[in-house]
């Protein structure tokens, strides 16, 4: 579970935010204004942002500050967008990268 931290013993309380809606892999979800794509999805308990192009293994955020590019997603048909650096916007359409076909690998055998 990835819960929001509304109250904190030292830091100020999280002020309730304006809700916005967006879609991820065709599912309509809501988030707070000011969320990145990554935190918007975490708040919806979604950790997998993409599947590795070759192995198909699930990937989520790793560094969360734009260095590692593990969190890249497609936003409004624009690929390679870092979910950790990009603020979610109303009606944004986000999709995950999928495992790509590998016609030349292992003589072209499917799933070899």
Per CB under 8 A, residues contacting another protein are 1-6, 8-12, 14, 35-36, 39, 42-43, 47-49, 52, 57-68, 70, 84-87
What is the per-residue burial (b if ≥16 Cβ within 10 Å, else e) of 23-51? ebeeeebebbeebbbbbbbbbbebeebbb
State in angstroms the smallest separation of the CB of 96 from another protein: 11
Concatenated DSSP letters of 51-64 = E-TTT--EE--SSS
Among residues 17 and 21, whose Cβ is nearest to another protein?
17
Among residues 47 and 105, whose Cβ is nearest to another protein?
47
State in angstroms the smallest separation of the CB of 17 from another protein: 10
Which residues does residue 87 pair with via DSSP β-bridges, in sequence order? Answer: 36
Q: What's CA 110's distance to the chain center, in Å?
A: 28
State in angstroms the smallest separation of the CB of 102 from another protein: 19
């Amino acid at each position: 579970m990835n819960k929001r931290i509304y109250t904190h013993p030292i830091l100020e309380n999280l002020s309730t935010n304006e809700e916005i809606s967006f879609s991820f892999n065709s599912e309509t979800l809501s988030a707070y204004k000011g969320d990145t794509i990554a935190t918007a999805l975490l708040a919806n308990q979604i950790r997998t942002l993409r599947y590795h192009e070759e192995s198909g293994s699930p990937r989520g955020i790793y560094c969360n500050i734009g260095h590692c590019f593990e969190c890249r997603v497609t936003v409004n048909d624009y690929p390679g967008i870092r979910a950790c650096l990009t603020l979610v916007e109303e009606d944004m359409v986000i999709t995950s990268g999928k495992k790509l076909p590998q016609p030349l690998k292992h003589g072209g055998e499917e799933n070899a």
